[in-house]
Amino acid sequence: MADESLFDRLGGFYGIAGAVDVLVDRLYSNASANANPAVDKFHTEGGHAGFKFLVTAWSIEETGGPKCYPGRDMRESHAHLNVSEQDFDTVRLEIAATLSYVGVPKQEHDEFMAIIDSYRDMVVDPDKRIAAE
């Protein structure tokens, strides 16, 4: 139904948790993401299951599901990572590829990617931000 939330249209808890399961596995072994030493360190130290939980809860809340995200805000949780525009594009590409891989239709794909893009300025380090033309 057109008035269903994005959360519902993505398959609710099970659909979102399933997509994040695939996404985080891909990110942990993504050589381009791990070219950022701070990201590589986090991935090497583990915390795989907890990270999947936080990204799942964030995605549930952002797409109109129940308020259940207990983590830090996006600026605070990425401040120490020196994320460049290129780093963001790497993660963005994995998110888009994962949505495609798990079969999310175009409408829902575009809506979810618009949410991701709205956080770019909070995640990219202010010193590495490339001003929009």
* Token duo for residue 80: 């120490």
Our finding on whether 54 is near ligand HEM (CB under 6 A) is: yes
What DSSP character marks residue 129? P
Our finding on whether 20 is near ligand HEM (CB under 6 A) is: no
Our finding on whether 39 is near ligand HEM (CB under 6 A) is: yes
Our finding on whether 42 is near ligand HEM (CB under 6 A) is: yes
For residues 4-30, b (16+ Cβ closer than 10 Å) or e, as one string? eebbebbbeeebbbebbbebbebbbeb
Q: Which residues bind ligand HEM (CB under 6 A)?
A: 33, 36, 39, 42, 54-55, 58, 71-72, 77-78, 81, 83, 87-88, 91, 116, 119, 123
